[in-house]
Amino acid sequence: MCVFCYMGSKSFLEKVAEIITDLKKYNPNLIYVKIHFYSKNNYVYVPQELLPLYRDVIVPLADIVTPNQFEAEKLSGISINNQDDALKAIECLHTKGVKVVVISSSDIGKEGNMLTLASTAKNGVRECYKIEFPMLDGRFVGTGDLFAACLLGWIHKSNSIKDAFEKTLSTMQSVIKRTLEHAQKLAGPGNKPTPAQMELRLVQSKSDIENPKDTFKAQLNRKTLSQSAQNQAATSLRNQLSGLENRHSSSGLLLDITRGGKRVRGCTYAQVTCAFILILVIMVTSAMMRYLERESGFKAISTHSVVLMHNSLNTSRGNMTHLSNFP
Ligand SMILES: Nc1ncnc2c1ncn2[C@@H]1O[C@H](COP(=O)(O)OP(=O)(O)O)[C@@H](O)[C@H]1O
Ligand SMILES: Cc1ncc(COP(=O)(O)O)c(C=O)c1O
């Protein structure tokens, strides 16, 4: 497993992409998690010009991403104002190839609440859960990191997104409540805690991290994608398919047969066309034979066989036939 978060420079990011690609080649089971990277509370950590690199190179390499609402908007280009928008943004990230998309926080729930969404994509099937809870009054640092770490740990242990999501939320809320209570005690009545006083009470929350309480139940999101989102998803799919066609036409291949990601056989357009013409010629010749036999009383016989070799198509065998005059 491999987790990356904040990277502030283009060359670092490019190197990360290179390393992940290499590591995945050696170990296809490697899980690469892209956690939040960009911003919090509308504050942007990384240079704006890195966004295209994150969006187009880094995210497609990731198995799991855990953006907050603002980052999900930036990565998908979709402004998230309600659950339908959130589903569109999630769909967009899935179509980039990400298997698990979790929006770690958003303000699209009920007034005063935070809403989180966790979605998986397996064989084209989407499973999306949501959990809503009250937003506490305070700015916390490191919550995105803790969220991603807990989620990854539980996905690894239980292999169920629902279970991992519920346990993660339970830990988060325990840690945050403990942190806020402690910070308010330190600050004194009526005072706003300082950022230092708001430092997450991680060590004190060891048991809540190891054994989360059974406090949160994730609801299956029964809301289906709106027509526009479906169209958008279909467009992405079409784009993907056209990308596939381009790849084939650029390699001159019509058909690729792959095993373990490696092309084991391929046919060019020319090869497939030749095969079709040959089949057509054989069918027409044989129909002519039958017709001439019927009309003339002659007998058509096959005198020899010719083996037609076609380099990358399977070897095919066809009969060359001619007419013999029998008394
Ligand atoms: N103000 C808050 N009130 C309640 N929970 C919070 C609050 N801020 C963060 N959290 C918890 O932390 C998790 C991650 O928070 P988020 O704000 O998405 O992190 P980041 O923006 O750092 O990626 C949320 O799912 C939530 O459980
Ligand atoms: C520069 C920087 N600031 C703050 C954070 C903490 O981020 P968050 O509060 O979103 O977990 C990180 C974590 O990656 C970071 O790299």
- Tens place of pLDDT for every residue, the chain, 327 residues? 667 667 778 898 899 899 989 998 998 888 877 766 666 666 677 788 888 888 999 899 999 999 999 999 989 999 999 999 999 999 999 999 999 999 999 999 999 999 999 999 988 889 999 999 999 999 899 999 999 999 999 998 987 999 999 999 999 999 999 999 999 999 999 999 999 999 999 999 999 999 999 999 999 986 655 444 555 544 443 443 333 333 333 333 344 444 444 444 455 556 666 577 778 878 887 788 788 777 777 665 543 322 222 223 332 333 333 333 333
Q: In degrees, to the nearest 5, what angle opens at C-alpha 239 toward C-alphas 129 and 24?
A: 65
Whether residue 143 has its Cβ less than 6 Å from ligand 2: yes
Closest ligand, as measured to the CA of 179: 1
Q: Does residue 36 have its Cβ closer than 6 Å to ligand 2?
A: yes
For residue 171, the tally of other CB atoms under 10 A from its CB is 26
CA of residue 40 to ligand 2 center, whole Å: 8
Centre of ligand 2 from the C-alpha of residue 172, in Å: 16
Q: Residue 260 has which token pair?
A: 């373990």
pLDDT reported for residue 88: 97
Q: How far is the CA of 198 from the centre of ligand 2 (A)?
A: 14
- Report pLDDT digits (tens) over 64-78: 999 999 999 989 999
* Centre of ligand 2 from the C-alpha of residue 6, in Å: 7
* Backbone region of residue 151 per phi and psi (left: phi > 0; alpha: psi in -120 to 50; beta: other values): alpha
Q: Is 177 in the pocket of ligand 2 (CB under 6 A)?
A: no
**What is the structure's pLDDT at 177?**
97
Residue 117 CA: which ligand is closest?
A: 1
Sequence spans of domains, the chain: 2-225, 267-323
Tokens of 143: 């919550």
| CB distance 145 to ligand 2 below 6 Å | yes
Cβ pair 313, 275 in contact under 8 A? yes
- Residue reference for tokens 């169920």: 160
Domain 2-225 in CATH 3.40.1190.20? The answer is yes
In the chain, the percentage of residues whose pLDDT exceeds 70 is 70
Q: 142: CA distance to ligand 2 center in Å?
A: 6
Q: Which residues are catalytic?
A: 145
Contact 150, 167 (CB under 8 A): yes
Give the residue whose CA is nearest to atom 2 of ligand 2.
6
Can you tell me which atom of ligand 1 is nearest the CA of 136?
3
First to last CA, the chain: 81
Atom index in ligand 2 nearest the CA of residue 144 equals 11
Q: Taking CA 54 as the corner, what is the angle to CA 52 and CA 58, rounded to the nearest 5 degrees?
A: 130
Which residue's CA is minimally distant from atom 12 of ligand 1? 143
Q: For the packed helices 83-95 and 69-76, what is the interaxial angle rounded to 10 degrees? A: 50
**Whose CA is closest to atom 25 on ligand 1?**
104
Q: Which of 136, 196, 197 is nearest to 172 (CA)?
A: 136
- Cα–ligand 2 centroid distance for 143 (angstroms): 8
Say which residue the tokens 């190179």 belong to.
Answer: 57
Helical H runs in 10-77?
10-26, 51-53, 59-61, 69-76
Nearest CA to ligand 2 atom 3: 45
Minimal-distance CA residue to ligand 1 atom 8: 140
Which amino acid type is present at position 235?
T
The pLDDT of residue 37 is 63
**pLDDT at site 326:** 34
One-letter amino acid at 232 equals: Q
Backbone angles phi, psi at 26, to 5 degrees: -75, -35
Nearest CA to ligand 2 atom 7: 142
